[in-house]
Amino acid sequence: MDSTEVMVSPDPTTRQVPDRLEALVDALRALLGDGAVSTDLSARERASVDGAPMSPILAAQLPLGLADIVVFVKDPATVPEIIALAVGHGIPITPRGKGTGNYGQAIPLHGGVVLDLSRASRILEVGDGFITAEAGATLIAMEKAARKTGQQLWMYPSTTGSSIGGFLAGGSGGTGSIAHGSNDSGFVVALDVVHGWTDPQLISVEGERASGYVHAYGVTGIILRATVKLEPAQEWSSLYASFDTFAEALPAVRDLGRSSPSPRLVSADVPFVANVLPSDPEGIPSDRASLRAIVDPDAVDAASALIESHGGRVEVVRPGFRGSVKLSMLSYNHPTYHLQKSDPDRYFHLEVGGEALFDRIDDVHAVFPGSMLHIEAAHTVPIGMLNALYESPEQVAAGITRLQEIGVGVHSPHQYYVDYKVDSARALAAVNDPAGLLNPGKLVT
């Protein structure tokens, strides 16, 4: 899909055939018991939403879909049979973790079954350099389990309560990504997955084969267990700094991101956005650009000197892992979330990336009225969220073109299609889901 395309074609929810739905409900209840299968409207509505309202363009189209049946999975061993039953009845299945994805990825556009995997959340093994967990395990639970063995996750998203299945299938990176890149850059060791087949099977994939399920929204298969990489744990310190202006903070973000040992996170915001973050007068003073970094304790002095050399002021340094999680929850899409909460219905955002964010910030900010970049140091080039005042889909599309002209990479969060490695996702889905029943509507054909 062309990234300039921000208009989604409303994909009318397909009414499922009532007889087949009823037969499937009976079969699922016989397999799992009544408590695991719900057709209550409130449960179906709760299972059919995610963070899509963060996009005014998607918000205008909601509800985009409604589950007919919600299945709560406790034991992943039951999933191959659940999928086989649903496929056998010709009913779609949309997997769901914690529903924190922000583009409608988890909305069941064609109704059918929403497979809620959040209760299948056991951590199965913490080994030397790896952790294995069920799909519903949260990233924060996995990080804590790893730390008990003197290790830490390569990365986790700012939504620390997201599930590992949802993070792999819908997310892309977060705290730890400066050193390790995206969640498709060697983070995944192995996956156990289920395909959209009538023959119930659990399939184990490793390495490159596992990559086909990352950021594919479940259209190539449903992740039941994941083994991901750990590294030796570091104690972390949370460093809060401020600058007179955002432009002064940018070179500090760039140089900190490239410093060694690698920080776990470096984020910065314009004063307006810093003012709407959760109140922390000691760390985030009013009306100043805010820079926040999670750094190795041995690097605090060097990081502080670097910040001061760029005209910044270190406000506070808080030692310890717990504080670093709090700081993570102010990164990536969270400033956008707080901005939108402070003034609903005014703002939209684009995911942006590239050196132009450092080099041409005035040009970047000039593209939209009220533009405010939230920036993250990342593995290769910086990435961020460009927040701005919303006028219309056409305004957003024209701005994307202009941003690309000035060298900014753009991902539009205003559509729900798979837009990562689309050709290989389509080829894999053709084999793994021949009837097109896994999260249908998310793959553009």
Q: What's the closest the beta carbon of residue 354 comes to ligand FAD, in angstroms?
A: 18
What kind and span of H or E run contains 232?
A: strand 222-232
Residue ranges in contact with ligand FAD by CB under 6 A: 50-51, 94-102, 105-106, 117, 135, 157-159, 162-163, 165-167, 169-174, 217-218, 222-223, 332-334, 337, 439
- Taking alpha carbons only, the member of 329, 387, 370 closest to residue 56 is 387
Q: What's the closest the beta carbon of residue 41 comes to ligand FAD, in angstroms?
A: 20
Q: Which is nearer to ligand FAD, 117 or 256 (CB)?
A: 117
> Side chain identity at 200, as an amino acid letter?
P
- Taking alpha carbons only, the member of 199, 278, 185, 202 closest to residue 240 is 278
Q: Which is nearer to ligand FAD, 293 or 307 (CB)?
A: 293
Q: What's the closest the beta carbon of residue 351 comes to ligand FAD, in angstroms?
A: 10
What would the DSSP string read from start to end of 286-346?
Answer: TTSEEEEEEE-GGGHHHHHHHHHHTT-EEEEEEESHHHHHHHHTTSTTHHHHHHHHHSTTS
- Taking alpha carbons only, the member of 189, 168, 372 closest to residue 275 is 372
Q: Which is nearer to ligand FAD, 313 or 411 (CB)?
A: 411
Q: What's the closest the beta carbon of residue 418 comes to ligand FAD, in angstroms?
A: 9
* Dist. CA 68–CA 91, nearest whole Å: 10
266 pairs with which residues across the strands?
A: 293
- Backbone phi and psi for residue 2, each to the nearest 5 degrees, phi listed first: -65, 130
What would the DSSP string read from start to end of 115-157?
Answer: EE-TT---EEEEETTEEEEETT-BHHHHHHHHHTTTEEES-B-
Q: Which is nearer to ligand FAD, 315 or 351 (CB)?
A: 351
245 CB-near residues (< 8 Å, 6+ apart): 289
Q: Which is nearer to ligand FAD, 183 or 310 (CB)?
A: 183
- Taking alpha carbons only, the member of 158, 162, 168, 119 closest to residue 141 is 162
Q: What's the closest the beta carbon of residue 345 comes to ligand FAD, in angstroms?
A: 17
Q: What's the closest the beta carbon of residue 77 comes to ligand FAD, in angstroms?
A: 14
Q: Which is nearer to ligand FAD, 217 or 243 (CB)?
A: 217
Q: What's the closest the beta carbon of residue 443 comes to ligand FAD, in angstroms?
A: 11
Q: Which is nearer to ligand FAD, 46 or 147 (CB)?
A: 46
